[in-house]
Amino acid sequence: MTSAARRSAKDRALGLLSHRARSRAELSWRLIRAGYEHEEISSALDDLEAVGLVDDEQFARDLATHELKGKGSGRRMAISALRRAGLDAEVAERVVDELAPDDEEARAEELAQTRLARLRGLDDATAHRRLASYLLRRGYDAHVARSAALRALSGRSVQ
């Protein structure tokens, strides 16, 4: 394809944004892979940022909210998702801290309570092991996962 027939980097970025929000870094990676020059990419992304179509702060908040609230992910997993999306570590940690400052244990226990319904027929030791393992895979620290699993199970024996 000749350069005259090829869409501009801005048009290509707009096409990518029409599917879902993306970080500036992710757009840049995609445009580099498509063969656009760094100067054209930078100019296009600057223009899109100036009109609010590329906003890493808002993108980070939206993605962190999805991870923390929608998926029930722990702090580590939420930060990891933000980093994979091209956001720098400082932004990722700050946004996650703003959205979930001190409720990691409460969120883990709530998730464990929800998951416990699937483990009805299991003895407490097996249920605890599976709950803790599930929470670890969701990005919760080991101590938080074990404690939340124990608290969820303690409510089960009373019921």
Q: What is the pLDDT of residue 5?
A: 52
* pLDDT at residue 143, rounded to an integer: 93
Residue 24, SS3? helix
pLDDT (mean) for 33-59 = 95
Distance of CA 8 to the CA centre of its chain: 30
Residue 145's pLDDT is what?
94
Which two structure tokens, joined as six digits, stand for 42?
């930078």
At 4 the pLDDT is 46
Quote the pLDDT of residue 103.
79
Mean pLDDT of the chain: 90
**119-154 residue pLDDT tens:** 988 999 999 999 999 999 999 999 999 999 999 999
pLDDT given at position 82: 96
**Under DSSP, is residue 58 helix (H, G, I), strand (E, B) or coil?**
helix
Q: What is the pLDDT of residue 157?
A: 53
Cα distances from 13 to residues 2, 9, 23, 28, 56, in angstroms, run 19, 6, 11, 9, 15
